[in-house]
Structure 1
């Protein structure tokens, strides 16, 4: 990778970080100093906007592992990423990310992996009660409204059935216990760095991938990736984009299979989250970076076929969304002031992915003439976040809801000057350890 540590990149990265830091400070302090009630629920007495949680200082059994992994990546991450063979780099990134996620989660002990997925608002309780999958799909929309008999719990109602079906599969494989399901989610989410590395290399910039690897491994988003079902959505999207990038580096005759895989994964992601049509923006960014468009109609046709297949089984995404919107605005959305959350959401994203996301965006913008891959991927994710924010369908809780976009927003950190690397990694590690050890995030 050409060295992009110019004065412009430094200045843009510093400016982006400063803006991000000020945004976070404002989101935390304004409600406190003004008495503005921006709580996510009327009964949320101890909340700490913009995050969904409250203050709780703690040290737990996962603390030594998280600190050890963080130190190792800060001190040796870029050196190891530079000399490892490619396949070994992918394997090591997965293993290191697994250790990072597990270490962070286990700060709360085994409950750190089990309490979220075992929550009554989550998927596992419903998944264990599912008998017939066809019957589930045929009646899914009927159970979304609050006033329907046996209405779905919050997270089941708030998502298409694709996410629930994955937990049904875990239950039927004997992996449906709270703790075991948490372990499965953590190990799946730990593959995110590898997916991003595959994507960047397929787009022709292996050096950029290697420089990005340490930042992807010790992301502050690990606090939420280890325990949130949204991490599974992020993982499906990431590998879908990786498949799209692999398709785009060759011809239709040679790469159509990868385009089909991309369509299956991205199409299924849409059946997991009503917000994931926005993954189409990072997908377009991949094709812009590749300068090859033939995978688009193939992947889009397969994704459309996925939607039509679900509709044939009884769940039509386009019929469910208006019903979900009504439930959302009848419930928690009405208690969350848009005048705060339109920008508070962005602060929550920065607390999730790290304030250095601002530096990543700034560096990618400054280097746009030289680093098409980083600029395209960061830009696609940023536009997706801004569109999601403008819809008002994600007021609060975006520290987990926007996890699918965080890895791509992180890629621009690879453009930071070499002299900044350890400091930037240290800031990311400290941010993650701080959130996990000082707050109870409820995720």
Structure 2
């Protein structure tokens, strides 16, 4: 009963936070507002549905019925199916469900607007792809083109990320898979695969029971709205598999630890060249290492991971791009754009309202159970991972380099929070899972999200 009260209180606080974030922009509270020093048109474009980046637009699409069916079916039968399936099928079924759920939600907005053309807008990577005719030169000159107001400045998303993000879509184009539909498919498949990575990591660190309990929550998480389709979904998938391999490394045999550790290092090393903010992936990675059986197991995973990650850094350095140079310049570019008109007085707390929308009230209820000092001290993997991901979001918020759009930008961390559903009492999981589904459907049908 006491824990149930804690879950309800957490959910109520979350509802109040979200309500306040949606209401404050209309109260004329001076600097406590989503956008300042802007025209009505700019406010309409960038803050109409704050704290969510999008526009109020009640709508349905041909993805509506499939989304309702997937959400309802997972809520009613998902927990039982996850318990009965052979373990090898659990990650695959979770991935398939997550992929279908994300695609259905995207199709609520229609094929063109919701999927095929999402990554072809003026500030997206695909607009820059045709200009990259010489990849080595693009890497050598990458940092010099980050700042705005230059004749050859990169467009917004390219300048705001390391070159790995642009290179991905350039390579996709070079192998003949050009255009928004193929790029969207890549983001959908890799992003939704994060659900499988999460259950794999949870099984390695906390056992099959926890992994099976988490599977329905990660399969139909509201985060799917931004996985299909945004490049951040792709970033989240890469980072998730890096952490999953690290989890396998800390709990595996010596040979498996070396191989999985090296794989984790390669993926996590690549991840920081997709998104500067993924430097914070070190926090959940440390959580995984703490969950190791002993120091020897942690070191057996850590050493090959560090070596492999440094190899990725070295390859980029030899190609002419130094990560820290880009990071320093991107901070200056950040304040050259709309960020200067987004007051921290609003976004410091409204960011977390966006997170609540992205993970659902059921996840919030589960996260309230992650603060169990006895289990944390006992190095419970699921608790440490959730707290590590939560700490990463707090650090990202305090950096003031994430103001607005965090429902998308923080996907590499918020997807791990959805695993908190496994901590809820079995008798109440279906209700909380259903609440997540209802929240995702309502948000996706009432707001036309920018991603």
Give the TM bin, normalised by the shorter chain. over 0.9
Question: Distance between the aligned counterparts of 1:147 and 1:103, measured in 2?
Answer: 39
Confirm or deny that 1:355 pairs with 2:361.
yes
* Farther-moved stretch of structure 1 (242-251 vs 298-307): 298-307
Matches within 5 A, 1:191-270: 191-270=193-272
Corresponding residue number in structure 1 for 2:420:
412
C-alpha distance in structure 2 between counterparts of 1:161 and 1:123, whole Å: 10
How big is the shift at 1:301?
A: 2.5
Secondary structure of 1:108's aligned partner: coil
Per the alignment, in what secondary structure is the counterpart of residue 440 of structure 1? strand
CA distance in 1, matches of 2:106, 2:183: 13
Distance in 1 (CA, whole Å) between partners of 2:284 and 2:392 is 7
Q: 2:60 maps to what in 1?
A: 59
TM-score (structure 1 length as normaliser): 0.95
Q: 1:98 to 1:386 in 2, by over 3 A?
A: same
Pairs within 5 Å for 1:7-86: 7-36=1-30, 37-39=33-35, 42=38, 43-45=42-44, 47-86=48-87
Question: Contact 2:107 / 2:115 at 8 angstroms: preserved in 1?
Answer: yes
1:254 Cα deviation from its structure 2 partner? 4.1
Distance in 2 (CA, whole Å) between partners of 1:231 and 1:40 is: 29
Deviation at 1:41, TM superposition (A): 8.5
- 5+ unaligned residues in a row in structure 2: which ranges? none
The CA distance in 1 between the partners of 2:338 and 2:227, in whole Å, is 23
Separation in 1, partners of 2:73, 2:267: 33
Which protein has greater RCO, CA pairs closer than 8 Å, 6+ apart? 1
Change in 2 beyond 3 A, CA 1:9/1:366: farther
How many residue pairs get matched?
437
Alignment match, 2:97: 96
Counterparts of residues 357-376 of structure 1 (less than 5 Å):
357-366=363-372, 368-369=374-375, 372-376=380-384
Shift of 1:8: 4.1
| SS of match in other structure, 2:52 | coil
Q: What pairs with 1:117-156 in structure 2 (closer than 5 Å)?
A: 117-156=119-158
CA displacement 1:147-192 (0-9 Å, x = unmatched): 2222111100000011111111111122221122212211221211
Whole-angstrom distance in 1 between the partners of 2:55 and 2:325: 37
- Cα RMSD between the aligned structures? 1.6
Per the alignment, residue 386 of structure 1 pairs with 394
Q: Distance in 1 between matches of 2:214 and 2:425?
A: 12
* Partner SS for 1:188: helix
The one-character-per-residue Cα deviations of 1:216-258 (angstroms, maximum 9, x if unpaired) are: 0110111111111000110000000011011111344442011
* Shift in Å, 1:35: 5.0
CA distance, structure 2, for counterparts of residue 52 and residue 28 of structure 1: 12
